[in-house]
Amino acid sequence: MKLSAEFIFETETAEKIYQAVLPELNDNFSERSKIGLSLEDSNHLVLAVKAEDAVSLRSALNTWFRLIQIAQEVLEVTSEAR
């Protein structure tokens, strides 16, 4: 893999987001990119993406940013409903 990017999301809901998006790692979105997702600690979610080219990197990042954003939004809506 030629390109890589790593992002750390600091949030109190990192563990819940991790559990929500973890099943998506089983889906192989692209042959040209690899995704790593881990918890640094209970408040830090780490997303690592490696890709063969810029298009694959951008596509993978857009997909995973959106998945993480959706998980966060669902957690916010469900906590407000309580």
Per-chain mean pLDDT for the chain? 93
Burial class (CB in 10 A: 0-12, 13-18, 19+), 64: buried
Q: How many residues appear in the chain?
A: 82
- Rounded to whole angstroms, the Cα distance separating 45 from 67 reads 13
Which pLDDT band, with edges at 50, 70 and 90, does 28 fall under? Answer: confident
Say which CATH class 3-81 falls into: alpha beta
Q: What is the pLDDT of residue 5?
A: 98
Residue pLDDT, tens place only, 9-24: 999 999 999 999 999 9
Q: What is the pLDDT of residue 1?
A: 73
Residue type, 4: S
